[in-house]
Amino acid sequence: MLIRVSTYLLFALLCQTISAQQTTTIDWLTFEQLEDSLKVKPKKVLINFYADWCVYCKKMEKVGFRDLKVISKLNTSYYAVKMNAESTDTISFGGGIFVNKQLGTKRNPTHEIPLLLASRKNRPFTLPALIVLNEKFEITARYFEYLSPKKLLKVLDE
């Protein structure tokens, strides 16, 4: 009887720990995973382009993307994609193949996907870059700045 109760308590604690872990982190996807997910269930998408050297990208990771309300909203209402803008990966998405064509030509070479989704007329590509898309994968907003948890929630509620 004691073993059964101990086993039950251990199982309950483990389930609670797993549940808590799931609610304290964002379920980040790759573009390949996003494509599969969109086929199963269309949803809004938030894309976070970052670089390892970007101070404001790191601050958003440590502050904005650790806020429990932001995490909950992203995990329930969005597909969240996180991509290093300087990635050297070849990415297959939407029937196309995307690469970093700037490798070897620029100090901070930017991958083709962030250039396609986060470029602005007559302005250079800058980080951090957050792109919001609707269920039809149409861009509805772009942000090129640090967003506090409060601002992130406002963006996600629009």
Q: What is the pLDDT of residues 92-116, one digit of tens each?
A: 998 999 999 999 999 999 999 999 9
Q: What's the total number of domains in the chain?
A: 1
Domain of 45 in residue numbering reads as 27-157
Q: Are 132 and 110 in contact (CB under 8 A)?
A: no
Residue 90 — pLDDT band, cuts 50, 70, 90? very high
| CATH number of the CATH domain containing 59 | 3.40.30.10
9 located within any domain? no
Please give the model's pTM, rounded to 2 decimal places.
0.82
14 located within any domain? no
pLDDT in the model for residue 5: 45
How many whole angstroms from its chain centre is CA 17?
23
pLDDT in the model for residue 119: 87
